[in-house]
Amino acid sequence: MAWSRPGGLVEVPGLGQELELWCYADSFDYARGETVGLKVHTTAQNFNIRIVKDGSRPVTVYERHGIPGQVQTTLPEPYERGCGWEDTLKFELGRDWEPGFYLVILTASADGRAKEHEGFFIVRPDSPSDVDFLLLHTTSTLLAYNDWGGGNHYRGREDGHQNDVPSPFSSSQRPLARGMLRKPEGAPRNIHTDTPGPGWIPRHEAYEWAWHNGYSRHHADAGWATYERPFTVWAEQQGYTVGHTTQSRLHRNAAELDGYECVVIVGHDEYWTWEMRDHVDAFVDQGGRLARFAGNYVWQVRLDGNATTQTCYKMPFADPYIETDIRRVTTMWDWEPIGRPGAETMGLSGVAGSYIRYGSASPRASGGFTVYRPEHWALEGTDLYYGDVFGGAPICIAAFEVDGVDYTFRKGLPYPTGEGGAPTNLEILAMTPAVFGAEDRWDGKVPIGAPVNEVTNLLAEAYAGNPPEYQTGTVRGAAMVATFKRGLGEVFTAGSTEWVNGLIGRDPFTERITTNVLDRFMARNKVRVRDIQGRHA
């Protein structure tokens, strides 16, 4: 069954008014030789399954029809506890299952009604030598936004009104909300690409589209369909061989990145555990290269021993760890008692960036990045000049949620002040203004996405009314493209969730910068056998 709250669909089993069909695998990722346990719940008498290795050239690798359906017993609050379903199908990933991202597509019909649903799993590479780089899927952000079963880290607990009370717990043992894995090409993203005139009233096209078409309101916030798939399709079209893994796997395995030249992050990497950061920091310190085409690096989370339940209270004094292990409290990385600002790992942080072209948050911004250091290697061959803007409207690569640092200008160039953990050797290549939240100029009569008072209230509570100086007296930040070296390695960070939209829209500047970064990081200046010149033509 599905029901709606303002903004989109919420899928909840057991109400008995619609044909039900859902599935999930018992893990987000596997190695070849391991066994997938696929759990399916349906009210149909039977269903069909098709498994597709997705990417620039999707290939069906498994298909079966007429599988007997089963109505599974679902635990209460499955968004927190997991569904508790039994295995419906089990199959071993033999050598014929190539590493990659797999969509599990179910179909069923009953009484003239048809239903389709998607699940997924990843097959990890056998060896770093088999791929050009490793794409780290942001599964903790996926867990934070997945509202299948009625809740997530933003809403779902009962409040007698719209059930808008966040849950601090999110389980991986449940299906994903509709739209996170598949949706029509051209579905709205969390940006507005037009530049409105005077008297404009904000709208959120992604939410409106979800409401009218039966998708989760969070379809554009996280997931393969919005972020990792467009990047993978583009990269494969350029001739790159992409390996895939997950944050959940990285959390569990300190050696997950060993042997790789380059690790890539795309889209929305808002949520991380302490262990994930440890393993990425060690990778870079030991000579690895991190290419981050992503934004909104903000929250510390915890995963349980099986890495199946994620915890994030956000308000630090709500987390029971406040009394036992204050550095592991699930709130902003930049909260001083944690002692580990986000910028120490990524160079930038969401608390110094925030929003652009999202509702009334900088609604007429350029949507692109203004260039300040065109001579940097990442911009080689772009023909960009000082002061040029690339990736601007209507593509808008600097949009939705963005990252920056506290900065100052000297002789026309931006430099980090060092506040908030920014590396002293950070080079800011390009940037654009952002705001911490959306303004309400309509006295509450117009829906406001991400109102600025959410941020100011969080800061006030987290710091008992006395936030650090660099976060005091301002609601303005910036989106930045930056690089820095750490230990023996290097980090490139394009601090925007929407960088991938420049690849979708084939913006030549975004494409060239992306290939510059990938080629430098994955090859460590070694000559590649493949036709790199052909990619750059």
Residue 328 has pLDDT above 80, yes or no: yes
What's the CA gap between 497 and 403, in Å, rounded?
A: 9
Residue 164 has pLDDT above 80, yes or no: no
Cβ 407 vs Cβ 450: under 8 Å = no
What's the CA gap between 53 and 224, in Å, rounded?
A: 13
Token pair for 55: 């990417």
* pLDDT score recorded for residue 245: 98
Tell me what the mean pLDDT of segment 369-383 comes to. Answer: 98
Count CB neighbours of 486 within 10 A.
17
* pLDDT score recorded for residue 391: 98
Query: pLDDT tens-digit profile of 50-79?
Result: 999 999 999 999 999 999 999 999 999 999
Locate the DSSP E strands across 367-524.
369-371, 389-390, 400-404, 407-410, 413-416, 427-435, 476-486, 489-494
What's the CA gap between 263 and 244, in Å, rounded?
A: 10
* pLDDT score recorded for residue 470: 64
| Tally of residues, the chain | 537
Tell me what the mean pLDDT of segment 95-111 comes to. Answer: 95
Query: pLDDT tens-digit profile of 260-290?
Result: 999 999 999 999 999 999 999 999 999 999 9
| Sign of the four-CA dihedral 92, 97, 99, 104 | negative
Cβ 184 vs Cβ 214: under 8 Å = no
* pLDDT score recorded for residue 16: 65
Residue 156 makes CB contacts below 8 A (sequence gap 6+) with: 79, 147, 150, 163, 165, 166, 167
Closest CA to 71 of 21, 106, 109: 21
Residue 1 has pLDDT above 50, yes or no: no
Report helix, strand or coil for 513.
helix
Tell me what the mean pLDDT of segment 379-399 comes to. Answer: 98
Residue 400 makes CB contacts below 8 A (sequence gap 6+) with: 189, 190, 191, 295, 355, 356, 357, 358, 496, 497, 498
Locate the DSSP E strands across 124-203.
133-137, 169-171
Cβ 232 vs Cβ 132: under 8 Å = no
* pLDDT score recorded for residue 479: 97
Query: pLDDT tens-digit profile of 170-203?
Result: 999 999 999 999 999 999 999 989 998 999 998 8
Locate the DSSP E strands across 111-231.
113-123, 133-137, 169-171
Eight-state DSSP code of residue 387: T
CA 393 to chain CA centroid, Å, is 22
* pLDDT score recorded for residue 473: 64
Residue 385's Cβ-side half-sphere holds a number of Cα atoms within 13 Å equal to 0
Residue 461 has pLDDT above 60, yes or no: yes
What's the CA gap between 452 and 469, in Å, rounded?
A: 18
Tell me what the mean pLDDT of segment 101-108 comes to. Answer: 98
Q: What is the mean pLDDT of the chain?
A: 92
What's the CA gap between 123 and 99, in Å, rounded?
A: 5
Tell me what the mean pLDDT of segment 249-268 comes to. Answer: 97
The DSSP-derived string for 312-338 is: --SSGGGSGGGGT-GGG-SSBTTSGGG
Tell me what the mean pLDDT of segment 426-440 comes to. Answer: 94
Tell me what the mean pLDDT of segment 460-485 comes to. Answer: 81
* pLDDT score recorded for residue 158: 76
Provide the percentage of residues in the chain whose pLDDT is more than 90.
Answer: 81
* pLDDT score recorded for residue 533: 42
Residue 358 has pLDDT above 90, yes or no: yes
Q: Which residue has the higher pLDDT, 353 or 451?
A: 353
Token pair for 30: 């596997």
Tell me what the mean pLDDT of segment 490-496 comes to. Answer: 97
* pLDDT score recorded for residue 156: 84
Residue 400's DSSP bridge partners are 356
Tell me what the mean pLDDT of segment 35-53 comes to. Answer: 97
* pLDDT score recorded for residue 73: 96
Domains of the chain and CATH, by start: 16-130 (2.60.40.1930), 261-536 (no CATH)
What's the CA gap between 417 and 401, in Å, rounded?
A: 22
Tell me what the mean pLDDT of segment 120-139 comes to. Answer: 97
Residue 295 has pLDDT above 50, yes or no: yes
pLDDT band at 471 (very low <50, low <70, confident <90, very high): low
pLDDT band at 531 (very low <50, low <70, confident <90, very high): very low
* pLDDT score recorded for residue 7: 55
Residue 492's DSSP bridge partners are 291, 483
